[in-house]
Each structure stands twice: as structure tokens, then as C-alpha cells.
Chain A
Amino acid sequence: MKLYPRQRHRVLQVVTKLVIPFVLLFGLYVQFHGDYGPGGGFQAGVIFASAFILHGLIFGLKRTRDVLSPTVLRFMMASGVLLYAGTGLVTMLFGGELLNYSVLAHEPTHGQHWGIFAVELGVGITVTGVMITLFYGFASKR
């Protein structure tokens, strides 16, 4: 795999630039539509990360690193888990059991929406971070 290609892959580069926004958008759709239809944090995270991985494959690892530095990824991985766990702690503060979303709002269904939303967002952020970190880790080896 050539991670630092020269100018010759023009077509690939142009197509990639066109595709990446749609991949990101689809990732967001899968993320935020997850509580109504098929989808959720895991899938969305992987789709979202795949956009960056594609960018890395075509434009080279260095340029992707400029967009998303490993430090940012480290915080993404940690904050996703914290968001998940924090939701659990908040439900406990509100007097419910761990991850009992019903207590989050005045009405149980409403609270469950909020809870699932926060938890899935946490999962999505972490999965994105982990997937891109894995890619960086393996791709930077010779």
C-alpha cells in the first residue's frame, strides 16, 4: 500500500473528495436515526471512521493526521466512554438504577429518548476514535 502517492492518482483523489462528505453524512444519519430505525453508535462510528481511513489511504497518512491528530483521537476515545458512563451516573443521581433512562425527563419515554441518544453518541465517538487510531497504528508501521 502506497501511503504517500504522487500526483498520478488524480481521479482517485477527486472521487474521494466527492465521496467523503456523503460518507460522513451517512454516518451521522445512522448515528442519529439509530433510536427509530436500524443503526446506532457502533455502525455509525465505523462508517464515520471509514471516511477518514479513505482519506488516509488516498492522500497519505500525514495529511489525515493534520486533520485529526492522535491527541484529539485520544480525547475522543476517552470522552465517548465518559459520556456513556456519565449518563449512567446521572441516572443514578436522579434516583434511578444505573442506565435507567426513564428518570432523565418528566416522562419515561421522553427520558429514554434522551438516554439512548447520549449513550449511542458516546459509543459512536469512541468507536470512531478507536477505528482511526487502529488505522494510524498499523498504517504507520513499515
Chain B
Amino acid sequence: MSQLIGLYSYWIVIVLMMAGLYIMIARYNLVKKIIGLSLFQTSIFYLYITMSKVDGGTAPILVDDADYVYSNPLPHVLILTAIVVGVATSAVALALIVRIYESFGTIEEDELKSIEAAEPDA
């Protein structure tokens, strides 16, 4: 039982991650796929932040107190970078979706597949 409640943060990570993966696989709409991808990436950010948490710790700001308990700042910094990467990925993906819509007239994966299959190779 303590496993279930004590590690609730990790359970949230797992639920978010699986939800993201499921959306990516099960939805045909490209925008929804990107929403799934963002959710998936967010769950990883959450994983990093969870593991940096120290019980009773506060923000890692330098003070003159030897007993000052603070969370590990390094994963926060890493995730700041990863968030920027995630934003960039979403931006590139959305730009691609706009261009796909302009040239194919649809952003449904199954329709795209049938249009592509009809086009000749080479």
C-alpha cells in the first residue's frame, strides 16, 4: 500500500507517459499525435523533477545556513533545456503539419496514406 501512495508521483508519470504513447499510436489526426508526443515528453520532465525532490527541501537558493535543506537543482536545469527542446520539436512538427495540410488538403493519417499510395514511385 505504501508503494501505491508513497510513490504517487511516479504513478502519475507512468499514467501520463502511457496516455501520451496511446494517443500517438491510436489517433490518426496529426495534431493529436503531436499532443500525445508533448504529453509523453512532459511526463519525462515530471519524472526528472520528481527524482530531484528532497523531503522537506525548498528552492535551491544559496543562504548562510548550514542546515538549509534544498532540492537537487541539477535535474531542474536539465529539464529547462529539455523543455526548450520540446517546444522546438512541437514548433517544427506544427509547421510541418501546416505544410502537409497545404499540399495534401488533409491531416488525417489514413487519408494521407491512401493519397500517398496512389502516387507513383520515382
Within 8 A of B (CB), among A117-142: 134, 137-138, 141
* A138 touching B80, Cβ below 8 Å: no
User: Complex formed: what's the CA distance from A65 to B121 in Å?
Assistant: 42
Pairs A–B under 8 Å by Cβ, sample size 10: A37-B61, A38-B59, A42-B80, A42-B84, A134-B91, A137-B95, A138-B94, A138-B95, A138-B98, A141-B98
Q: Which residues of A contact B84 (CB under 8 A)?
A: 42
Q: Which residues of A contact B61 (CB under 8 A)?
A: 37
Nearest CB of B to A70, in Å: 15
Chain A residues within 8 Å of chain B by Cβ, number: 7
Q: Which residues of B contact A141 (CB under 8 A)?
A: 98
User: Complex formed: what's the CA distance from A137 to B95 in Å?
Assistant: 8
User: Complex formed: what's the CA distance from A37 to B91 in Å?
Assistant: 29
Interface residues of B (CB under 8 A from A): 59, 61, 80, 84, 91, 94-95, 98
Nearest CB of A to B58, in Å: 13
Q: Mark A34-76, 1 if CB is under 8 A from B, else 0.
A: 0001100010000000000000000000000000000000000
> Which chain B residue shows the least CB distance to A127?
B84
Interface residues of A (CB under 8 A from B): 37-38, 42, 134, 137-138, 141
Q: Which residues of B contact A37 (CB under 8 A)?
A: 61
Nearest CB of A to B68, in Å: 16
Nearest CB of A to B59, in Å: 8
Q: Which of B91, B94, B98 has most A Cβ within 10 Å?
A: B91
Q: Which residues of A contact B95 (CB under 8 A)?
A: 137-138
Nearest CB of A to B80, in Å: 7
> Which chain B residue shows the least CB distance to A123?
B84
Which 10 pairs across A and B sit closest by C-beta, in order of nearness? A134-B91, A141-B98, A42-B84, A42-B80, A137-B95, A138-B94, A138-B98, A37-B61, A38-B59, A138-B95
User: Complex formed: what's the CA distance from A141 to B102 in Å?
Assistant: 10
User: Complex formed: what's the CA distance from A42 to B79 in Å?
Assistant: 13
Q: Which residues of A contact B98 (CB under 8 A)?
A: 138, 141
Nearest CB of A to B29, in Å: 17
Q: Which residues of B contact A134 (CB under 8 A)?
A: 91
User: Complex formed: what's the CA distance from A42 to B80 in Å?
Assistant: 9
User: Complex formed: what's the CA distance from A138 to B91 in Å?
Assistant: 10
Q: Which residues of A contact B59 (CB under 8 A)?
A: 38
User: Complex formed: what's the CA distance from A38 to B84 in Å?
Assistant: 17
User: Complex formed: what's the CA distance from A134 to B94 in Å?
Assistant: 10
